[in-house]
Copies of this chain bind each other. A is one copy, B any other.
Amino acid sequence: MPLATEIVDAEGHLIDSQLLTAMWDAIVRRDGAFEILEFRIGRTNDEPSFVSMRVSAPDANMTELLEELVTLGCRVSGAEDAHVVPADSSGCAPEDFYSTTNHQTFVRRAGQWIAVEKQRMDAAIVLDGSRAECRKLRDIRKGDLVVAGVAGVKIVPEFKARDRMGFAFMTNEISSERRVEVGVAKIAGMMREAKKAGERIAFVAGPVVVHTGGGSYFGELIRSGYVDVLLAGNALAVHDVEQALFGTSLGVDMETGKAIEGGHRHHMRAINAIYRAGGLRKAVESGVLTSGVMYECIRRNVDYVLAGSIRDDGPLPDTIMNLIEAQDRYGAALQGVSLVLVLSSMLHGIGVGNMLPAWVRLVCVDINPAVVTKLADRGSSQTIGVVTDVGLFLRQLATALHD
């Protein structure tokens, strides 16, 4: 098989972020080889390193290999502008479009590196004059100038080193065998800092927040101003209303823990009551709904979005069943958010994770380690996983923020 050869450069915390390892892995996995042309190691903790390599690989593999190396922070050597191809139809991209990661990306245009806006993963990059932005395939319109191939594309991966000391205190291992109190203290500190810096905090919450008795503590966080955005599904709101109206969650009495068998109907009654009131906001205004997470959100003007799912009963009038709209509303609510906490919500948590740039910090809390592992696996060092009971976690967090 004929070999192709390219020279690539990279600079940064190449070793302690394990980028160099990942590059070499990629090359070898594609049956390629490399030769180091230049290597300067950071001589101290803080200095960046630099590498220049001649990479060779079978012709057929070279395109994918370069894509991967670019993802890891390499720049194809030899200054070339990004290639752009006009979209030949709406709703899809040219065949060799560049598919984005969630890391900060730059594209070269007329010799200048332009920062790509609205960074998110699995998008195309559309150039418009001197600006560039991530665009979902379905939002591409015929004639849009779409970046193709990897020439003139540069990524700046989050360097793991930078936050090793601070943020990622337990990222090395997701385990239920950890002291959660330590994690809670760290997370409370991050929340306080975010608010002090005027940044926004979003929560993604599943109905387990209510089932496990975390609702009232979550309400405290809302009242204290720590929740700017709430992204959830229908079920969180339904069971929250169920608790507010009937004192049960999924038919289980929240004070005694006893299952009330007919209680499975409470959630349908809750839906019906909100429907009759004309929606959650009107239910609050008319005095039908006087407590709970949704009540606090409405009183405090938290930006909340409820996205539907195939398993939803009802749904509540507030739940958005058109998912194109729901995804857009989620995306809009996340603008300017610097910290996201995902509480027992795999589905909506993955949805949100897909929308975020890598530098937004993400805290995932779930009692199932497999869920935390899945949520936290986003190629970013800005992720914390905590395996614990969500109800008790919220209690600890409310206490820690109160102190």
Contacts and interface: CB of A to CB of B under 8 A. Distances in A.
Interface in A19-50: 20-22, 24-29, 33-36, 39, 41-45
A191 to B, nearest CB: 17
**Count of chain copies:** 4
A68 B262 contact: yes
A260 interface: yes
Interface stretch (A78-86, A88-96, A104-112): A88-96
27 contacts: A16-B25, A21-B21, A28-B164, A39-B39, A64-B262, A65-B262, A89-B276, A92-B275, A95-B272, A138-B315, A169-B257, A177-B208, A177-B212, A179-B213, A179-B254, A180-B213, A180-B391, A181-B391, A233-B310, A309-B309, A309-B323, A309-B347, A310-B327, A310-B347, A312-B323, A322-B322, A323-B323
A367 B351 contact: no
A29 B258 contact: yes
A130 interface: no
Given A137-B268, A312-B323, 8 more contacts: A34-B45, A176-B370, A178-B252, A309-B309, A310-B326, A323-B323, A370-B370, A389-B389
Contacts of A315: 138
A387 B311 CA distance: 22
A197 interface: no
B173 A259 contact: yes
Interface residues of A, number: 113
Contact of A20 (B15, B35, B181, B311): B15
Contacts of A173: 259
Interface string A273-291: 1011000000000000000
Given A212-B177, A326-B310, A392-B396, A257 B183 contact: yes
Give the residue among A91, A164, A169, A268 with the most B Cβ atoms within 10 A.
Answer: A268
A182 interface: yes
Contacts of A169: 256-258
Q: Which 9 A-B pairs have the closest CB atoms?
A: A179-B213, A182-B257, A310-B351, A68-B262, A92-B275, A311-B351, A392-B392, A388-B389, A321-B323
A58 interface: no
Contacts of A18: 18, 21
A352 to B, nearest CB: 8
Interface string A257-269: 1111111010111
A99 interface: yes
B257 A99 contact: no
A67 B314 CA distance: 20
Given A35-B43, A45-B34, A275-B137, A310 B309 contact: yes
Contacts of A138: 314-315
A203 interface: no
Given A35-B44, A309-B351, A176 B389 contact: yes
Contacts of A326: 310
A44 B39 contact: no
B180 A392 contact: yes
B45 A33 contact: yes
A302 to B, nearest CB: 19
A330 B250 CA distance: 24
